[in-house]
Amino acid sequence: MIDTVMIGAIGENEVAAVGVANQFFFLFNMVIYGVSSGVSIFISQYWGSGNRREIFRIIGLGLISLVLSGAVFTALAVFFPIPIMGLFSDSAAVLYLGREYLWIVCISYIPTAITYVFSHAQRSINNAALPMAISFLAILTNTVFNYLLIFGKLGLPALGVRGAAIATVLARFLECFLMLLISLKPGRPLRGRLQEYLSFDWTYIRSVYGVVLPVVMNEGLWGLGAVFYTAAYGRIGTAALAATNITNTVQNFFMVLCFSIASAALVMIGHQIGSGDKEKVKVYANRFTILTGLLGLFLGVLILLSGSWILSFFRISEGAIRSAMVILKIFGLTYCIRQINLVLIVGIFRGGGDAKACLAMDLSTMWLVGVPLAFLGAVYWRLPVEQVVALITIEEFIKFLMAMLRLKSGRWIHDLTEGI
């Protein structure tokens, strides 16, 4: 949110360029979030069952997987920036600025991946305060250096989008350093010997990835679908890209609390499954669903009331502002359903080890409903961007019905600690 606001103070091409470049990071983010979430399913259930030794090797497997993924995405960003961003925009100015940003920010991909593994692991063992504190310091660092390097303060050069990229890299490296320093301190629960992190064989890898891979596919293909949405918006025009980049950032800002509830649901339900208390699992699932619905209603109203004020911070065209205002209204009116879907799929069902059903629900609605409607609306029907966003929202209603039926069935509860 801070990055987008600060870059938005420069101009429309700049905010569109950073948004386009960050679509590639968004896809990478979905991959590392998928692996980290899959790893945390096991850690939470092992923590609930009291099996500490298994936690070390699942962390080791997650780290190796994500460092390799980070290396691949970094190489793609270095060698193929224009083809990657050309999927979303054909504006020469946007592509040039986006390339400058992507070449720098990709340096942070591997440290970000390492941070994700340990951050999810800390939450899974009931230590959510540490990732929170470190994230706060990273955001503070990013904000300060954004101000100094984007606008050229205290005698530093005004680097624009390159300054934003450098600030992000500095913040990510600090975040990774602090997370490793504290997590691996002697006496900490996640501190193990090197051989304990690497004590897995191919049989173990296959067993774990039977659960982790559907989560990775879920996040990766969901992220790819979101990238396709951006590609559809890009066919409408630069103003549409700017409007959707800003509104998606605003929506993500409001989604933070519901993502946190999803993370808490995954951990708490995983603990109860690991301890063998399946009745409490169902009670927790129902409470989380009700809590999320109430919170979604409150946040939806907040978005509706604060939309004009939020958009006043951005220096973009009047047409982009009008579109962004309508999109925020759509988000506000549908926010409750979006958040229930998120907590059920990302939190409750995953905590129950039901990764394959999550994959089926998310991808069937996105790829059979959302993505086709996005391109029909943007390319074939030539609708304005706000109407395309409204069309895509149909997928959330279908997903809601599927998720509620799955919750009621109880078939989403699986003990993954047995037989691995």
* Predicted pLDDT of residue 404: 96
pTM, two decimal places: 0.76
Residue 22 lies in a domain: yes
pLDDT bin (cut points 50, 70, 90) of residue 73 is very high
pLDDT given at position 377: 94
Residue 367 lies inside a defined structural domain of this protein: yes
* pLDDT score of 420 more than 70: no
Q: Is the pLDDT of residue 5 over 90?
A: no
Count of CB atoms within 10 A of residue 104's CB?
21
Residue 219 lies in a domain: yes
Q: Please give the Cα distance from 268 to 351 (Å, whole number).
A: 8
What pLDDT shows up at residue 192? Answer: 84
Look up residue 256 and give its two tokens: 């933070």
Domain containing 66 equals 2-409
Residue 403 located in a structural domain: yes
pLDDT tens-place string over residues 80-122:
988 888 877 777 888 888 888 899 999 999 999 999 999 999 9
Mind listing the pLDDT tens digit for each residue in 292-337? 999 999 999 999 998 888 888 777 788 888 899 999 999 999 999 9
Can you say whether the dihedral through the CA atoms of 153, 158, 164, 168 is positive or negative?
negative
Ramachandran region of residue 249, left (φ > 0), alpha (ψ -120 to 50) or beta?
alpha
Name the band, by pLDDT with cuts 50, 70 and 90, for residue 408. Answer: very high
Q: Does 192 or 172 have the greater pLDDT score?
A: 172
Phi then psi dihedrals of residue 198, to 5 deg = -105, 15
Asked whether residue 223 carries a pLDDT value surpassing 80, the answer given is: no
The pLDDT of residue 198: 87
Alpha carbon 155 to chain centroid distance?
Answer: 35
Question: What backbone phi and psi angles, to 5 degrees, belong to 193?
Answer: -80, 155
pLDDT of residue 52: 80
- For the chain, helix, strand, coil in percent to 5 are 85, 0, 15
Q: Chain-wide mean pLDDT for the chain? A: 89
Dihedral sign, Cα of residue 172, residue 173, residue 176, residue 181: negative
Report the candidate in 3, 33, 36 with the shortest Cα–Cα distance to residue 21: 3
Q: Is residue 321 part of a domain?
A: yes
Segment 237-241 mean pLDDT: 83
**Domain count for the chain:** 1
Residue 254 has pLDDT above 80, yes or no: yes
In a domain, 417, yes or no: no
Closest CA to 76 of 21, 15, 116, 37: 21
12-15: list long-range contacts, CB under 8 Å, 24+ apart: 12/238, 12/239, 12/242, 12/315, 12/316, 12/317, 12/320, 13/91, 13/93, 13/94, 13/97, 13/238, 14/97, 14/160, 14/161, 15/242, 15/245, 15/246, 15/314, 15/316
Q: Which of 327, 310, 164 is nearest to 241 (CA)?
A: 327
**What tokens appear for 43 in the block?**
């850690």
3-state SS assignment for residue 339: helix
Give the E-state strand segments of 41-137 in sequence order. Answer: none
- For residue 419, name the pLDDT band (cuts at 50, 70, 90): low
In Å, how far from its chain's centre is CA 248?
Answer: 12
- Please check the confidence at residue 12 and state whether its pLDDT lies above 90: no
Cα 64 versus chain centre, distance:
20
Both tokens of 35, joined, read 């692996």
Is residue 415 in some structural domain? no
Identify whether the C-beta of residue 172 lies closer than 8 Å to the C-beta of residue 112. yes
**Average pLDDT score over residue span 219-246:** 84
Question: Domain for residue 418, yes or no?
Answer: no
